[in-house]
Amino acid sequence: MPSYTPPLRDMQFVMHELLHITDTLKTIPKHADMDAETINAVLEEGGKFASEVLFPLNISGDAEGCQLDVKTHAVTTPKGFKEAYAQYVEGGWAALGCDPAFGGQGLPLIVNQMFYEMLNSANQAWTMYPGLTHGAYASLATHGTDAQKTTYLHKMTSGQWTGTMCLTEPHCGTDLGLMRTKAEPQADGTFRLTGNKIFISAGEHDMSENIIHLVLARLPDAPPGIKGVSLFIVPKFMVGADGALGARNGIYCGGLEHKMGIKGSATCQMVLDGAVGTMVGAPNKGMNGMFVMMNAARLGVGNQSLGLTEVAYQNALVYAKDRIQMRSLSGTKAKDKAADPIIVHPDVRKMLLTAKAYAEGGRALQAYCAMLLEEEHSHPDEKVRTDAGEMLAMLTPIVKAFITDNGWTSTSMCMQVFGGHGYVKEWGMEQYVRDARINMIYEGTNTIQSLDLLGRKILGNNGATLKRFGKLIVKLVQEEAGNEKMAEFLEPLAKLGEQMTKFTTEIGMKGFQNPDEVGAAAVDYLRVAGHMVFGYFWARMAQVALREIAAGNTDAFYLAKVQTARFYFAKLLPETAMLMRTASAGSDVLMDTEAALA
């Protein structure tokens, strides 16, 4: 059976020693009094909820899955899920980062982000039920009317009601301009929605008393394409003026998807049969509201794979120390045993260190993005808000795609550490692999994220935001000029930063001649950018650790951080050389292939 220990020490390192988050929070009035002790205490309790309440339900929830009553359209979640959600609500966890104006606790976003990493490690399928609610909450908080906020946000904050995003239809996934769901205006100002949605996570379940669906649909006179999409609130149960629940609305689950993983999460085919909805925002401007939710979901999906990478690594490490097989190539290490533990073998260590490096690098990036989001929303200085928003926009596709690609690699490697036992269900490792695979697909496939990064976020502003990130690298290199102990980190990072400028220009020039060049290079380009970002954070983490060691700190944590940084720069960062070469190979070898793909 697997186990899980919340990585509180590393979280504290990232928040307080690497990013010094309380210094930033002091510049934001509503968080000016927030201290590290409070943040640590909340996360310690959150870790207990994740490890003691959710984690024991992960394997059983996967085995049981969700059940649909085809007559009533009711969905029953796995045993224990509903009770765990009640504890989640009772503990106030749903309100952690929400606005006090709606009953929230008003804690910094990074606290909620770290908490959700632990929930994802413990049980990704369960975590999707409350997780999507945060995105729906953010969308309504940003674009809803005062009446809509009053009606819905208090109970979504408390966790009494959950939320969904209803976008995808059977004939269209990412290309939302093709959607057909209709919204007919009514005399009372509401709309009647008719259509079908698929792949709707948490679309129907028994964990909350109401489900608030945010649905994209078309008005009768809507222009074609994405410019003709509007956003609507469609509650499972109608809500009266006094907030009381009324009649069942015309939206229901017509079927459950039979999936490779996250089987405890209800992935629903939703039918809208004259369902009553109210519009959010302006007509034909629905994507404005939905993008708030989609961007939050993209950061959340990166966090899902971060959580899975962490828990897979923890279990593979324990197994590698215990399992004995063969002798070390360099001589016997465990003379009192019939064979050496497999952790002595170089390739086993490579797999373990890959997962560790991707988990800890991902945690640093996620925390950095959470602080950018905080600044974008709440900093009193308009320039800070703008700069934070631009940087976050560039990093979001990297969070979603790079961390989830790494999560797939890491969980697969961690399963490999177990050998044949990793392929057996009882050990829990094969579930992490299955659960991780969806994260590369939904909320915009990783190819879509790559196109967004290269086409919109980089070439779209002539690399201005990329250059800003490059200045962070230059600053770090200048800070440590002459420090020989930092050279093994900074020299390859500085070189990659320089190469990135030339690489981006080359792809951009080719793209102006032939747009397929951007499509052919985008996935490789994102991984190069991801390694540059991870490399920056790993160099900074090594910097902090080396300073502690130089000051006489004998905590093995810091030596481990330096050793992992060395591994990252020696074994993982060099992937960029191959990626830049393949990206530069052009589109002809892909597009001039009619005979090969006949």
Look at residue 174 in the predicted model and tell me its pLDDT. Answer: 81
46-58 pLDDT, tens digit per residue, is 999 999 999 999 9
10-23 pLDDT, tens digit per residue, is 999 999 999 999 99
Q: Return the number of other C-beta atoms located less than 10 Å from residue 220's C-beta.
A: 8
- For the chain, give the mean pLDDT: 97
Quickly state the pLDDT bin for 176 (edges 50, 70, 90): confident
Q: Which of 369, 235, 361 is nearest to 305 (CA)?
A: 361
What are 68's strand-pairing partners? 75
What are 347's strand-pairing partners? none
120-142 average pLDDT score = 95
pTM over 0.95: yes
271-326 pLDDT, tens digit per residue, is 999 999 999 999 999 998 888 888 888 999 999 999 999 999 999 999 999 999 99
Output the furthest CA–CA distance in the chain (Å, rounded). 84
Token output for 539? 């160099």
402-453 pLDDT, tens digit per residue, is 999 999 999 999 999 999 999 999 999 999 999 999 999 999 999 999 999 9
Task: Measure the CA–CA gap between 314 and 399, rounded to whole angstroms.
Answer: 22
313-371 pLDDT, tens digit per residue, is 999 999 999 999 999 999 999 999 999 999 999 999 999 999 999 999 999 999 999 99
Look at residue 334 in the predicted model and tell me its pLDDT. Answer: 95
Look at residue 522 in the predicted model and tell me its pLDDT. Answer: 98
100-109 pLDDT, tens digit per residue, is 999 999 999 9
Q: Provide, rounded to the nearest whole percent, the portion of the chain with pLDDT above 70.
A: 100
**CA distances from residue 520 to 174, 442, 455, 507 in whole angstroms, order as listed:** 19, 21, 12, 10
Structural domains for the chain = 8-131 (1.10.540.10), 161-284 (2.40.110.20), 448-586 (1.20.120)
Token output for 131? 């997780």
> Is residue 369 a contact partner of residue 395, using CB atoms and an 8 Å limit?
yes
257, pLDDT greater than 90:
yes
* Residues carrying an active site annotation: 443
Q: What's the per-residue H, E or C state across 412-455?
A: HHHHHHCHHHHHCHHHCHHHHHHHHHHCCCCCCCHHHHHHHHHH
454-479 pLDDT, tens digit per residue, is 999 999 999 999 999 999 999 999 99
Look at residue 438 in the predicted model and tell me its pLDDT. Answer: 98
List all residues 6 or more positions away from 12 whose beta carbon is below 8 Å from its beta carbon: 36, 40
3, pLDDT greater than 90:
yes
